Chains A and B, each alone.
Chain A
Amino acid sequence: DTGVSQNPRHKITKRGQNVTFRCDPISEHNRLYWYRQTLGQGPEFLTYFQNEAQLEKSRLLSDRFSAERPKGSFSTLEIQRTEQGDSAMYLCASSLTGGGNQPQHFGDGTRLSIL
């Protein structure tokens, strides 16, 4: 169990640029989640996958946000035309499928700073 891996750890970019983050889940986990955490707040759910199927995306913050998991393994989260308000920590988590008793394991996150 190598844990959930997120890259990059930090991303600094100018407003208006596109950014992409990668998440590699624990290998046997078929559920993958993306959350956003702003300063002083708890993580806020964005979207999640069961294998390659995106089960919910209505919580993505705008149509500038998209995520995919093409082969059911790693996932990417893309933000197009970044804005100041996108500055946050983006967290990925993975779990086994099952009832709510399958805990989610989190990566260390990608911190995005918009200049």
Chain B
Amino acid sequence: AQSVTQPDIHITVSEGASLELRCNYSYGATPYLFWYVQSPGQGLQLLLKYFSGDTLVQGIKGFEAEFKRSQSSFNLRKPSVHWSDAAEYFCAVVRGSGNTPLVFGKGTRLSVIA
């Protein structure tokens, strides 16, 4: 069965510092991978997605992620964090090869300090 692991429950970074959020997946074939962001009391907003091709994908709000098959990882990065980036971040994988339900990690809460 597919699974997603986000090892860091909570990360605190200073505004302007770089950010990397970790995500590891377990899936037997080429996965479809996603990062979503959730602000308190809100739904999830898609940041970026990976299906195939270039392993470095660009998303909204200045985020990028790199797919590394050898490490089963899909880490999210941002070179300079803004206070408005404080939120919960979820990594997810599609459960099957088709357009099927997502399997989510438990999320990483990002705090940004001045």
Give the B-binding residues of A (Cβ under 8 A): 4, 6, 31, 33, 35, 40-45, 48, 56, 59, 91, 93, 95-109, 111
Rounded to whole Å, the gap between the CB of A102 and the closest CB of chain B is: 5
Q: Flag whether B25 is at the interface (Cβ < 8 A).
A: no
Contact indicator A95/B44 (Cβ below 8 Å): no
Contact indicator B104/A42 (Cβ below 8 Å): yes
Contact indicator B107/A103 (Cβ below 8 Å): no
Interface digits, B50-78 against A, CB 8 Å rule (1 contact, 0 not)? 01000000000000000000000000000
A-B interface contact total, Cβ < 8 Å: 72
Given A45-B95, A106-B44, 5 further pairs, Cβ under 8 A: A33-B102, A42-B106, A56-B101, A100-B32, A103-B46
B49 is contacted by which of A56, A103, A107 (Cβ under 8 Å)?
A103
> What is the size, in residues, of chain B's interface with A at 8 Å between Cβ atoms?
28
Query: What are 27 A-B contacts defined by CB distance under 8 Å?
Result: A4-B43, A6-B43, A31-B99, A33-B101, A33-B102, A35-B101, A41-B106, A41-B107, A42-B4, A42-B104, A42-B106, A43-B90, A45-B95, A45-B101, A56-B101, A95-B99, A99-B51, A99-B98, A100-B32, A100-B98, A100-B99, A101-B32, A102-B99, A106-B36, A107-B43, A109-B42, A109-B43
Give the A-binding residues of B (Cβ under 8 A): 4, 32, 34, 36, 41-46, 49, 51, 90, 92, 94-107
Contact indicator B107/A108 (Cβ below 8 Å): no
* Cα of A25 to Cα of B43 in the assembled complex, Å: 13
Contact indicator B102/A104 (Cβ below 8 Å): yes
Residue from B41, B96, B97, B99 having most chain A Cβ neighbours under 10 A: B99
Rounded to whole Å, the gap between the CB of B77 and the closest CB of chain A is: 20
Rounded to whole Å, the gap between the CB of B95 and the closest CB of chain A is: 8
Which 7 A-B pairs rank lowest in CB-CB distance, beginning with the nearest?
A42-B104, A100-B32, A100-B94, A106-B43, A45-B101, A106-B44, A108-B43
Chain A contacts for B42, CB-based, 8 A:
108-109
Chain B contacts for A35, CB-based, 8 A:
101-102
Contact indicator A42/B107 (Cβ below 8 Å): yes
